[in-house]
Amino acid sequence: MASASDTASPTARIAIIFPGQGSQVLGMTTELAELYPQIKETFAEASTALGEDLWEICQDEERLNQTQYTQPALLAASIAIWRVLQGKITTKPCYLAGHSLGEYSALCAAGVLSLADAIQLVHKRGQLMQQAVEGIDTAMAAVLGLEDQRVETLCEQATEHVDGAIVGAANFNSPGQVVVSGNAVGVNAVIDKVQNTGKKAILLKVSVPSHCALMQPASQALAEALTEIQFDQAIIPVIQNRHARVETNSLGIKQALTEQLSEPVLWSKTMQELVDKQINVLIECGSGNVLSNLAKRQAHPIASYPTDKPARLDKLMEVLS
């Protein structure tokens, strides 16, 4: 019997999902670039907007993992693959969504942002995030096996009872997987509390603590930067992280992006929203398969297909045909 991940409904209702920071890998999209000229063309366009060679950055692990370069590199990879998909998929996606940084890729794919504006914006976002925590010892950790509310309670207890602790839930990724973020004192306090329950918490290798109170200065500065960027009407609705809903005007979209920096990513809620809208095929558009793996762990899984390698793209086309 075929599993949900191996089959698609005869009537495909598609949503495209775009990965965020942490999905980057050295040399991402290289195999696709050998087959599809859109890959290198997109990177060239993005590099011109940034004033840096993003293709070269993707071959340099040290630079690729610097937040201000990770973000535009991932966005370029996602939009490059999106352009390949546009020439291959005949069914128009019903919705787009992106995890954290991936939301900018989704907005670019939806025509809300130009590629040049999106690249410059996420580069600025990365710089602001780094500046916000300069000189602060920070951390993020994935908590496994606890309910969302329980993780939030542990964060509140750490903040209230541990001197100097700043920590909160950053990503509600799937049932039983919540990422916490803050300063090292706060995150380590939560890790201790999680381990006392018999569950697991794993420190993540990140350079900035996303989606927590430490990002409020970056959020305020990003709001100013967003006022200078033109946002157009979306040609495909984008479900945003802040409230797991579609914002219909540019002010609402910008407000959600601003708040997203210091508020948690509601990914599980976003996935449930897609279930409620009868989506039965997810296409992960970008580096890796992190979001496809998360899709399997949702309360109501949707078949999800990564597209970052030729074999994976072939698998998707086989399913859709």
Residue 123 designated active-site: no
CATH of the domain at 146: 3.30.70.250
Q: Which of 172, 207, 242 is the last residue of a domain?
A: 207
Q: What is the structure's pLDDT at 1?
A: 30
Q: What is the structure's pLDDT at 72?
A: 98
Catalytic residue among 211, 219, 262, 304: 211
In terms of domains, do 246 and 104 share one? yes
In terms of domains, do 160 and 59 share one? no
The alpha carbons of the chain give a radius of gyration, in whole angstroms, of 19
Give Cα separations from 102 to 22, 227, 241, 269, 313 (angstroms). Answer: 11, 20, 10, 16, 19
Q: What is the pLDDT of residues 93-119, one digit of tens each?
A: 999 999 999 999 999 999 999 999 999
- In this prediction, residues 142-165 reach a mean pLDDT of 98
- In this prediction, residues 181-206 reach a mean pLDDT of 96
Q: For tokens 């973000």, name the residue.
A: 71
In terms of domains, do 123 and 199 share one? no
Q: Which of 162, 177, 207 is the last residue of a domain?
A: 207
Is residue 4 situated within a structural domain? no
Q: What is the structure's pLDDT at 10?
A: 56
In terms of domains, do 175 and 34 share one? no
In terms of domains, do 153 and 121 share one? no
Residue 211 designated active-site: yes
* β pairing state of 95-98 and 14-18: parallel
Q: What is the pLDDT of residues 233-288, one digit of tens each?
A: 999 999 999 999 999 899 999 999 999 999 999 999 999 999 999 999 999 999 99
Q: What is the structure's pLDDT at 11?
A: 80
Strands (E), the chain: 14-18, 95-98, 138-144, 167-174, 177-183, 200-203, 238-240, 245-246, 281-284, 304-306
In terms of domains, do 121 and 158 share one? no
Is residue 5 situated within a structural domain? no
Q: What is the structure's pLDDT at 12?
A: 87
CATH of the domain at 73: 3.40.366.10
Predicted confidence (pLDDT) at residue 4 exceeds the cutoff of 80: no
State pTM to two decimals: 0.94
Q: What is the structure's pLDDT at 206?
A: 86
Is residue 298 situated within a structural domain? yes
Is residue 265 situated within a structural domain? yes
Whole-number percent of the chain with pLDDT over 90: 94
Report which secondary-structure segment, H or E, holds 24: none
Collapsing DSSP to helix, strand or coil, 41 comes out as helix
In terms of domains, do 270 and 154 share one? no
Is residue 55 situated within a structural domain? yes
In terms of domains, do 124 and 164 share one? no
Provide the Cα torsion 83, 89, 95, 96; round to 10°. Answer: -30
Is residue 24 situated within a structural domain? yes
In terms of domains, do 33 and 109 share one? yes
**Which DSSP string corresponds to 228-246?**
TS--PPPSS-EEETTTTEE
**Which DSSP string corresponds to 111-127?**
TSS-HHHHHHHHHHHHH
Which amino acid appears at position 66 of this protein?
Q
In terms of domains, do 273 and 193 share one? no
| CA 154 and chain centroid, separation | 25
In terms of domains, do 199 and 50 share one? no
Q: What is the structure's pLDDT at 207?
A: 85
Predicted confidence (pLDDT) at residue 151 exceeds the cutoff of 90: yes
Angle between helices 250-260 and 216-226 (to 10 degrees): 160
Q: Which of 154, 177, 207 is the last residue of a domain?
A: 207
Interatomic CA distance for residues 135 and 67, integer angstroms: 16
Interatomic CA distance for residues 248 and 214, integer angstroms: 29
Is residue 50 situated within a structural domain? yes
Number of domains in the chain: 2
In terms of domains, do 185 and 230 share one? no
- In this prediction, residues 167-183 reach a mean pLDDT of 98
Is residue 1 situated within a structural domain? no
Domain, as residue range, for 166: 138-207
Catalytic residue among 78, 100, 105, 292: 100
Interatomic CA distance for residues 265 and 100, integer angstroms: 6
